[in-house]
Amino acid sequence: MRTTKSILLVCGLLVGLAGGGYSGQAGEQSAEKECGKDIELSEADDHDAAIERFDEALRLDPKNAMALGDRGAAFLRKGELDKAIADLSQAIRLNPEYAVALTNRGAAFLRKGELDKAIADSSQAVLLDPTDSMAFTNRGVALWKKGDFKEAVADFDRAVRLDPKNARAWSNRAASFLEKDDWDKAIADFDEAIRLNPKDWMSLRSRGIAHMRKGNLGKALADLDEAIWLNPKDAVSLRSRGMVLARLGALGRAIDDFSEAIRINPNDKMALIERSVAFLNVGAFNRTIADATRVLQLDPNNATAFNNKGAALLRKGQFEKELVDFNEAIRLNPKNSIAFSNRGVVHMNMGELDKALVDLNESLRLAPTDAMALSNRAAVFSRKGEFDKEIADLSEAIRLNPRDASSLNDRATAYMDTDQFDKAIADFSAMLRINPTDTWALTKRGNAFMETDELDKAIADFSEVIRINPKDPMGYCKRGAALLRKGESEKGLADLDEMIRLNPKPPALPDELGDSHGKAGKSEEPIANGEEVPQYRPDEAAAEQSSRPGNIPR
């Protein structure tokens, strides 16, 4: 019996269709729309004309099982599932060993969500024809949707062994690995699926997501670019590329992709959440609030949206309003460690240090390796004057992320406040290894050298500040103080004159030691009152966890 095979999409799950070959085009792919996933019907398949031919054949022979099976396959390709099931059932009654009809009826049941019937038909098909790769593929999809991942992967394994050219089996197995966070195996299988079908935009999209999860952002971007070129209207690909661009720091392009995804699907909650995060990171706080509010209209219990809205309000200094949002985020998801950390920052800004500590302790209980929560708790300890605890938290944050310049700065400042100047110098030096042109770190290290009477080193640091930014009056102020202390009065006074020329209303001059080591949380954002900058963030992790596009068998 001839078996023309076609692929149908069901809720993101690729289903194999073994057809009677009415079109005479083996391997043609049909594409249909189901469960919000867009694919296009092959223009080469004239299903209506084929159905008319089978109607004529059945008028001549109403008990022609093959004609019934082929007409059922045509109805299945058209998406007329009830008619397909009726024809295929009649074909099976006439010929109980008609394996292809069982495979196709199983595919129809799968599309209708009748998983047990799909499994039963696929199982009977493989009993009759143990070489039917598509039947194993379909049963694997049904098992996957029922949560039986181990058996699903076993069926995909069998499908691949039986037909190494079954691209859908490779793609489905890859998607199963992707769901289990087994990036390398997922990528290897997607590689094979794409080799077999280079225009499989869904596999390209999914492989791009796998690369993104693994941190291979360049490869992720290349795959998602290709997927979008093949299907410019796929909102999930656009959203996923936006996520990659955001991680690469191309926030403007990321926002463009999120916006296009939202234009295609105005109810795409994940695209709205991701765009709200991007808006927050470019300082468009009102737009962040607007996107988060739109998500809450679609999903009133979305904890991530409450958290991100609160983060924007926090940036705007509207503490009471943001507290309400973080409270709601925590009520909806009591395990949301980021919301606890953010609410702790709000309490800290409101001067409620004990409440802040309770929230940050809970955040770290839920996520013990969250470097940002450790840094935030350190800021609370700093305000309480508990410098040993502050330094301990910052040390752990730095151990988790040795390139965290903000935590290095905060620990260095804590060392300065506790007269541990050599340790402070070491931390400021580490900051400068990360960013050699960080004028804040240079200035602060210069201050520390002043404390240890290493005046030449201090002058060198202040001179580097001036070289990087010749219009920085503070650089001249600091170097002038150091030169005066060294006894080089003429040079010192010249620097102070230049400071006054650049800023006719300068701040109060440092004392003769140049001792001005007030705290700041980030090198580019010193705080006037000399306190650490708390760190807060949108709930990006939660957004990613719930936006795994394409990582299910299709």
One DSSP character per residue, 447-480 reads HHHHHTT-HHHHHHHHHHHHHH-TT-HHHHHHHH
Is the entire prediction scored with pTM above 0.75?
Answer: no
Q: 233-336 maps to which CATH number?
A: 1.25.40.10
Query: Which pLDDT value is given to residue 507?
Result: 53
Query: Which pLDDT value is given to residue 385?
Result: 87
Please state the φ and ψ torsions of residue 377, each to the nearest 5 degrees.
-65, -35
Where are the domains positioned within the chain? 1-163, 166-214, 233-336
* Identical topology for domains 1-163 and 233-336: yes
Q: Is 147 left (phi over 0), alpha (psi -120 to 50) or beta?
A: left
The DSSP output letter for 521 is: S
Query: Which pLDDT value is given to residue 45?
Result: 54
DSSP per residue, 114-177: -HHHHHHHHHHHHHH-TT-HHHHHHHHHHHHHTT-HHHHHHHHHHHHHH-TT-HHHHHHHHHHH
Tens-binned pLDDT, residue by residue, of the chain (554 aa): 333 222 222 223 344 445 433 322 222 222 222 222 222 222 335 777 777 787 777 788 888 888 888 888 888 888 889 999 998 999 999 999 999 999 999 999 999 999 999 999 999 998 999 998 889 989 998 998 888 888 888 998 888 899 898 888 888 888 888 888 888 999 999 999 999 999 999 999 999 999 999 989 999 999 999 999 999 999 999 999 999 999 998 999 999 999 999 999 999 999 999 999 999 888 888 898 899 889 888 988 888 888 888 888 877 777 777 788 888 888 888 998 988 988 888 888 888 899 999 999 999 999 999 998 999 999 999 888 899 999 999 999 999 999 888 899 999 999 998 999 999 999 999 999 999 999 999 999 999 999 999 999 999 999 999 999 999 889 999 999 999 999 999 998 999 998 988 887 655 544 443 333 333 333 333 222 223 334 444 444 334 333 332 333 33
Query: Which pLDDT value is given to residue 77?
Result: 87
Q: Looking at domain 1-163, what is its CATH homologous superfamily?
A: Tetratricopeptide repeat domain (1.25.40.10)
Query: Which pLDDT value is given to residue 393?
Result: 94
Q: Under 8 Å CB-to-CB from 103, ≥6 apart: which residues? A: 16, 17, 18, 121, 122, 125, 132, 134, 135, 138
Q: Are 346 and 323 in contact (CB under 8 A)?
A: yes
Q: Is 166 left (phi over 0), alpha (psi -120 to 50) or beta?
A: beta
Closest by CA to 28, choosing from 3, 5, 49, is 5
Q: Return the residue matching tokens 């009520």.
A: 331
Estimate to the nearest angstrom the gap between the alpha carbon of 196 and the chain centroid: 28
Burial environment of residue 234 by CB neighbours within 10 A (0 to 12, 13 to 18, 19 or more)? buried
Q: Which two tokens stand for residue 381?
A: 């300890």
Please state the φ and ψ torsions of residue 6, each to the nearest 5 degrees.
-135, 160
